[in-house]
Amino acid sequence: EECKIQFKNRHWNCTLFKDNQLIGNILDSGTKESAYIHAVTAAGIAYAITKACSTGRLSSCGCDMSLNDRNSNGSIRWTGCSDNVLFSSQLAKKFVNLRERITNNRTSLLNVHNNQVGIRTLLASVDRQCKCHGVSGSCEFKICWRSLNSFTQIAKQLKEYYDESIEMRLQRSLFDKKLRFIPRNLPFHIDKQTISTAFKNDLVYYKSSPNYCEANLTSGSFGTAERVCNRNSRAIDGCELLCCNRGYQSQIVTVHEKCNCRFQWCCYVQCQNCVTTQEISRCL
């Protein structure tokens, strides 16, 4: 669902299923869309495990207590329940990479890399949270703990990596004979052992994306026909771009929605039913 939110105004809007069937083979397609799906899935699994540990819903883990009191000073005390991201990331890594170890081909190498980018992004999203304590509302000292950012922020960061993803090719190293991905635009004679680590935080792909303007379920594309667009926008959500210059059709629709909501004592919210008209534009 988070993937759909991040890409709701793109030609590819992360729609993966039709009639409960996975369309095409997008997970192993080697495209930048596949890279994002693997990264955000790995991060999502690690995130869910982390929160389950912190709330006591998993018996095999709990809070990360390693910071408690160890790094405290006069005004800051590390205590409470810090998110156990190391445990969750290790468990998520084993889970998402399991199917890749079975296949062990160039696509699996790519998927493992992008899985790890998702987990690294989650690890980098841990922030310090603090609460002030003191007499009469003063902040004589702070109780602090480490907590993950919202998953929406993590998914948004991965979308930025998607926009900057790098096309790769597979080459066998002259040093240790292992297969490695290197940028496609580098000359073939260049062989550096550190080339893979230089791109460890980048989403990578080796196959160009299909034309998501047109429907092609084999390649994983629903097309953009009948998608809602914004006729007043010149950005990617605008009808001109989203509809791929095929045109669009606008109509006035009647919408029933709740409005003028007020809290009533005690304890419920009372709303009025309002009828409004809206103009909806859809791609042809």
- What confidence tens digit (pLDDT) does each residue in 11-21 have? 999 988 776 66
With contact defined as beta carbons under 8 Å apart, do 17 and 23 qualify? yes
Residue 252 domain-assigned (yes or no): no
The range of the structural domain enclosing residue 41 comes to 2-165+202-208
pLDDT classification of 218: cutoffs 50, 70, 90 = confident
Backbone φ, ψ for residue 71 (5° rounding): -110, 20
Q: What is the pLDDT of residue 204?
A: 93
Kindly report the length of the chain: 284
Cα 92 to Cα 42: distance, rounded to the nearest angstrom: 6
**Amino acid letter, residue 16:** L
Q: Residue 280 falls within a domain, yes or no? A: no
Model pTM score:
0.85
Q: What's the pLDDT at 65? A: 81
Of 182 and 262, which is predicted with more confidence?
A: 262
**pLDDT for res 273:** 94
Note whether 118 and 39 are within 8 A (CB): yes
pLDDT at 28 over 90: no
Domain count, the chain: 1
Given this model, what pLDDT does residue 66 score?
Answer: 78
22 located within any domain: yes
The answer to whether residues 71 and 29 touch, using CB atoms and an 8 Å cutoff, is no
- Give the tens place of pLDDT for each residue, 235-244: 989 999 999 9
Residue 131, pLDDT score? 85
Residue 189 pLDDT exceeds 80: no
The reply to whether 259 falls in a domain is: no
Instruction: Check residue 45 and give its pLDDT.
Output: 95
Label residue 64 left, alpha or beta by phi (over 0 means left) and psi (-120 to 50 means alpha). beta
Structural domain includes residue 182: no
Cα–Cα distance, 15 to 4 (Å, whole number): 7
What is the structure's pLDDT at 35?
96
Q: Is 183 exposed, middle or buried (0-12, 13-18, 19+ CB in 10 A)?
A: middle
Please give the residue that has the higher pLDDT: either 184 or 7.
7
Cβ atoms of 155 and 6 closer than 8 Å: yes
Locate 83 and state its tokens.
């998110």
Mean pLDDT over residues 181-197, rounded?
Answer: 62
Tell me, yes or no, whether 151 lies in a domain: yes
Q: What pLDDT does residue 81 have?
A: 84
List CB contacts of 184: < 8 A, sequence separation 6 or more: 167, 168, 169, 206
Gap between the terminal Cα atoms of the chain = 25
Bond from prior residue into 144 cis (ω within 30 degrees of 0): no
Q: 49-107 pLDDT, tens per residue? A: 999 998 889 888 888 887 776 656 667 777 778 888 999 999 999 999 988 876 667 88
Q: Which amino acid is at 260?
A: N
Band of pLDDT at residue 187, cut at 50, 70 and 90: low
Average pLDDT, the chain: 86
> Per DSSP, what are the bridge partners of residue 281?
229, 250
Q: How confident is the model at residue 213 (pLDDT cuts 50, 70, 90)?
A: very high
Cis status of the peptide bond prior to 267, with omega within 30 of 0: yes
CB 202 within 8 A of CB 165: yes
Q: Is 193 inside a domain boundary?
A: no
40 within some domain: yes
The arithmetic mean of pLDDT across residues 178-203, rounded, is 68
